[in-house]
Amino acid sequence: MYKIEKTNYGVKLTFAGFIQEAEMAKWVEESKSLIPSLPQRFGIFVDMRNLATLPQVSKIEMEKGQIAYKQAGMQRSVVILENSIIAMQFKKIAKETGIDQWERYIDASSNPNWEDAGLNWIVSSKEPE
């Protein structure tokens, strides 16, 4: 399951459960449709607290989406996680797509203020603790 929400800072994405290739490809297409309505520079808040590990084919689609957002003007992104395996997988994806320098990761299981910390990174460039 995924959800895309346009916000005042850019985009909030929610991913949960086990996402197959077709669903992830649909997310990429919906993201590409949203991009023209975004400002020149924007942030992305990603809630992956309930996401299962992605299969390789879904990972490839995720990379396409990250590249599309990066090319469209994504300035910063934050990923909220509760699973170290998902964290490792997405750090690797971010490195492969070249967004790793703008992306931060917050473990919601150890940071009760994860939402505020994430928004502070996106909006004010304040590094999460």
Percent of the chain exceeding pLDDT 90 equals 79
| Mean predicted confidence (pLDDT) in 26-44 | 97
Q: Are 44 and 77 in contact (CB under 8 A)?
A: yes
Residue-wise pLDDT for 71-111, tens only, equals 999 999 999 999 888 878 878 887 888 777 888 999 999 99
pLDDT at position 45 over 80: yes
Cα separation, 30 vs 26, in Å, equals 6
Residue 20, helix vs strand vs coil:
coil
pLDDT band at residue 17, thresholds of 50, 70 and 90? very high
Q: Which domains are assigned to the chain?
A: 2-124 (3.30.750.24)
pLDDT at position 48 over 80: yes
| Mean predicted confidence (pLDDT) in 115-121 | 97
Task: Give the per-residue pLDDT at 65.
Answer: 95
* Bridge partners (DSSP) listed for residue 47: 14, 80
φ and ψ at 60, to 5 degrees?
Answer: -60, -40
